[in-house]
Structure 1
Amino acid sequence: MNAGSGGYGSAGEDTRAGCVCPPCRCAAPSSRSQGQNRHSGRNGARGRSLGRSRVRAVARARGAALSPNTVRTYATGWNSFCSWADAQGVDVSSAGSDDFQGWLVDLAAEGKRPSTLRTYRAAVVHRYSEWGGANPARDPQVGRVLSGLRRQAAQAGYVPKQAAPLRHHHIDLIAETAFEPRNNQPGGRLETPEQAARRALVDIALVSVAHDGLLRCSELLAIRWGDVVAAENSGGTLIYVRRSKTDQTANGAYIPVSQFASKALERIKPPNADPDALVFDMSAGTVARRLKAVARTAGIDAENISTHSPRVGMAQDLAAAGFDMAAIMVAGRWSTPAMVALYTRRLAAADSTIAKHLQTRQTHPSQQRPRNTNTTPQAA
């Protein structure tokens, strides 16, 4: 699988390292590579050179259309289909709608979530689109099977998990308990007070900045010290988000953070910090583990705490403070209101016109306690 044949990865690189399917089943349907040279004649050598250069440039541009996370996710979905096809004796270059339907049904039987099935199908659709020609993964019958599997999962009691929120009061609890030493050293040893203090300062900065900025994990980990700037008018602190999931062309956005988060950043900033150095130089997995750890220490149920929890928490804090959906969408850099509505639905229901009306309803007469509580029959 190479860039010229629609593989995932940078142009000119062999991306078969991430693919588990056999070479014969991973090739594009056409025997002619998209990068095959068609130049000949008097300028053949020059034409071949320009052709190869152009193919590499085209492949680089096409590869840049997807974010690295999407590339990895699509590679996982495509590898899943290739492995299934190999086990079934199906050649992916000639697979049909029935094959994709069977693959999705088998994945559901293995316990894959509806969201995973949808993503995997998108990965296969993308691969066949890269190859050009017919795209059997787009067949309406495949979509109907996917819808049916989603309905069956709902009937079986499946409920999509949502990240538990980390709201303002949670961050207060985290700040109060973060300095407690933990048994996280090699061999299960307890942290020294100095180690606990260094770790706690980073934890507090991590969760408060992620919360105030409604930051996705990728945005949080991309912040550099040069992106932390003073606001010109208010005297507060702004963080420059260079790009985001909804800003793939890197127009950028400045987001404000609280004085609490600003001071937390000051406490972990190295002397003479390099403007290009990352503020939080760690992996997404490390962020998730640290958030779960600070939540547990603060007495917060950490089962559904994830890297998205501070973002969900701030969305709920804004909704509780009376900000409308449009304002929350702008603050969180959402392109549609769907996720905002999902994150704030409980607060919205409690604050709805109907809920307020029900709060004013008087007790029904039949539920009022009788004044005379003596139910003993009176003597005649």
Structure 2
Amino acid sequence: MNAVEDAAAATGRVAGTTAAATTSTALVQPGGLVDEIAAARSYRQKAKAANTLRAYASDWNQFEAWCNERSLEPLPARPEAVATWLAALAMAGKADSTITRHAAAIAWYHRRAGEVAPQHRDPRGVIADTLAGIRREQRSRPSARKAAITAAQLKAMIAEAEGEGTRAIRDRAILALGLAAALRRSELVALQVADVAEVNEGLKLTIRHSKTDQEGAGQVIAVPTGKELRPVKRLEDWLAVRGRAAGPLFLQIDPQGQLTRNAMSDRSVARLIQRYGAKIGLDPETVGGHSLRAGFLTEAARSKASLAKMQEVSRQKKLEVLLGYVRSVALFEDHAGEGFL
């Protein structure tokens, strides 16, 4: 090694030692470590969407109460106890997706408490087998999915929201926008005023979180002005009443008809749809929050919209779901027996 190489090596050793010392010092600095721990805790709390955490809390409270009534230990819970709880939910008529979420909530609460989730200490697989059995049984039954509300039906429902009162104006906007943007009820109530951007062609809606976007990457939906349902005009009318101050787009209205500053609940949107559906002769039991989204996809399929364009609005990750709407609409088109039956 020549003199130049000796100097470079020495410099590297000193630099490496200095860097290591600097890093070590930074890690043991009380203020820095406290801030970093707080940041780590904050990021952990953001790992789940707020709606998911609320659902998990409700699920856990139910499981805990069920265990207490039966003198079972909820934390740590035995796999057999969890499997029995999931079976009880199925007996109560809960959907397999809801039951799966209950299982996830139990696992999450165990991890948060520093315990191994029951699913990970279940060598006999009783939890997995119970869930598989529930799914198999439920999927063999006729679907209980809420019926689609067509554009014509929605137009009639909007007409039932008569007058220029605050509630009527808000309800017309919810109905029109819900179908026009193929929104889930949770997405409708999560919208903020800042999520609405007016453009020449209509609106751009930013959906910050959704069932298929749990990380909150955000998605933008185009909403045309429209000639029949006129979602843009309905929303403009509502904003003229609500005002454009920051906050939830769709606000609760108190019994006296006064606006609050609180966002509507997703359940209240479902009830709103059922109420107006009943006014035009629909069975309230067959329609709900999903009916507007299903209505958009049904009408889009009927209008021969491409799957890509349908997916652009609905944001479905699985094309099979969209194909289901297309097949349903096209059942009698070019039927194999049309020429001889």
Equivalent residue number for residue 335 of structure 2 = 356
Q: How do 1:81-100 and structure 2 match up within 5 A?
A: 81-100=63-82
Task: Give, in whole Å, the separation in 2 of the partners of 1:102 and 1:223.
Answer: 38
Structure 1 residues 171 and 60, CA gap change in structure 2 (3 angstroms): same
1:217 aligned partner: 185
- 1:262 alignment partner AA: V
Q: 1:135 to 1:280 in 2, by over 3 A?
A: closer
Q: Given that residues 196 and 205 in structure 2 are in contact (C-alpha distance below 8 angstroms), is that contact kept between their aligned partners in structure 1?
A: yes
Deviations 1:313-365 (A, max 9, x none): 001111111123332122112222344345555224344xxx522222x14xx
Provide the TM-score with structure 2 as the length reference: 0.74
What's the RMSD between the two structures over aligned residues?
Answer: 3.0
| In 1: Cα distance, 2:46 partner to 2:272 partner | 31
Distance in 2 separating the partners of 1:133 and 1:224:
38
Distance 1:111 1:332, change over 3 A: closer
Q: Is the 8 A contact 1:225 1:273 kept in 2?
A: no
1:205-250 superposed Cα distances (whole Å, 9 cap, x missing partner): 211111111122233234444544343xxx3211321413134334
- Any conservation in 2 of the 1:124–1:137 contact (CA below 8 Å)? no
Instruction: Find the aligned partners of 1:142 and 1:278 in 2 and give their Cα distance.
Output: 40
The verdict on how the C-alpha distance between 1:57 and 1:209 changes in structure 2, with shifts beyond 3 A counting, is same
Look up the SS of the partner of 1:240 in the other structure: strand
1:316 to 285, 292, 298: 298
Contact 2:185–2:270, Cα closer than 8 Å, also in 1: no
Kept after mapping to 1: 8 A contact 2:106/2:117: no
Aligned to 1:163: 146
Q: Which residue of 1 aligns with 2:206?
A: 241
TM-score, scaled relative to structure 1: 0.67
Answer yes or no: is the 8 Å Cα contact 2:207–2:219 preserved in 1: yes
Matched residues, number: 295
Select the residue among 255, 259, 266 that pairs with 2:236. Answer: 266
- Alignment partners' CA distance in 1, 2:207 and 2:186: 11
Instruction: Name stretches of at least 5 consecutive residues in structure 2 with no aligned partner.
Output: 1-24, 253-263
Q: Which amino acid in the other structure matches residue 110 of structure 2?
A: Y
Q: Unmatched 5+ residue regions in structure 1?
A: 1-42, 180-192, 364-380
- Alignment of structure 1 residues 31-42 onto 2, 5 Å: none
**3-state SS in 2 of match to 1:253:** strand
Cα displacement string for residues 60-108 of structure 1 (whole angstroms, at most 9, x for unaligned residues): 2111111111111112222233223333433344433223223223333
Partner in structure 1 of residue 43 of structure 2: 61
- Counterparts of 1:114-193 in structure 2 under 5 Å? 114-131=96-113, 134-138=116-120, 139=122, 140-153=125-138, 158-179=141-162
Kept in 1, the 8 Å contact 2:108–2:117? The answer is no
Give the residue type in structure 1 aligned to 2:186.
S
Partner of 2:59: 77
Percent identical residues: 24
Equivalent position of 2:222 in the other structure: 255
> For the Cα contact (< 8 Å) 2:191–2:250, is it kept in 1?
yes
Residue pairs, 1:289-300, within 5 angstroms: 289-300=271-282
Within the candidate set 251, 254, 267, 1:281 is matched to: 251
Q: Residues of 2 paired with 1:229 and 1:145: CA distance?
A: 47
Q: CA deviation at 1:305?
A: 2.0
Greater helix share, structure number: 2
1:147: Cα distance to partner? Answer: 1.7
One-letter identity of the residue aligned with 1:249:
G
What is the aligned counterpart of 2:322 among 332, 340, 344? 340
C-alpha separation in 1, matches of 2:75 and 2:189: 39
